[in-house]
Amino acid sequence: MKVVLQRVMKASVEIDGAIHSRIEKGLLVFLGVGNEDCEEDIQWLVKKISQMRIFEDENGLMNRSLIDIQGEILVVSQFTLMAQTKKGNRPSFIDAAKPDISTPLYEIFLHKMDDVLDSDVQSGVFGADMNISLINDGPVTIIMDSKNR
């Protein structure tokens, strides 16, 4: 699995002209599911994301996690994170898992994150055409791949 984490002041997902979900201070997570991904990848990412110290403490240092600040999280599925761009000018998505594999893993990711944070995880709609709005805080943007642990 690949994720792009963005520390945000706020973020929202709009579908068909209506706000579907929104958060205030916390993390916007774009999640890409690959053919080789499994629940072990989810466990590792959920722990890493929830405990990653990327929020500022009273001294302005990144020493606090999402859990520490009781921040919110918005998770959006994004198969394009699995793009291969080595050849030509058209990305290949051959490494992106098909919906019959990626949808259940995305749902498990949401449930596991919800359990760890003990709060409602906000999300997009798997496979929907979504407009994402955000105010990046910092900016802080981090790319993670569960295969590179």
Domain coordinates of the chain in residue numbers?
Answer: 2-145
Q: How far is CA 109 from the centre of its chain?
A: 9
Question: Is pTM beyond 0.85 here?
Answer: yes
CATH topology of domain 2-145: D-tyrosyl-trna(Tyr) Deacylase; Chain: A; (3.50.80)
- Mean pLDDT value across residues 30-47: 97
- Asked if 113 and 49 count as a contact pair (C-beta separation under 8 A), the reply is yes
Q: What is the pLDDT of residue 17?
A: 95
- Asked if 12 and 19 count as a contact pair (C-beta separation under 8 A), the reply is yes
pLDDT above 90 covers what percent of the chain? 96
- Mean pLDDT value across residues 103-128: 94
Q: Distance between CA 29 and CA 52 in Å, rounded?
A: 13
pLDDT at 119 over 90: no
Query: Residue 115: which residues within 8 A CB-CB, separation 6 or more?
Result: none
Mean pLDDT of the chain: 96
DSSP class of residue 25? S
- Residue 89: strand, helix, or coil: coil
pLDDT at 73 over 90: yes
Q: Which residues are catalytic?
A: 78-80
29 beta partners: 5, 75
Confidence tier at 35 by pLDDT (50, 70, 90): very high
Neighbour tally for 82: CB within 10 Å: 21
- Mean pLDDT value across residues 43-56: 97
- Residue 103: strand, helix, or coil: helix
pLDDT above 70 covers what percent of the chain? 100
> pLDDT per residue over 76-96, tens digit each?
999 999 999 999 999 999 999
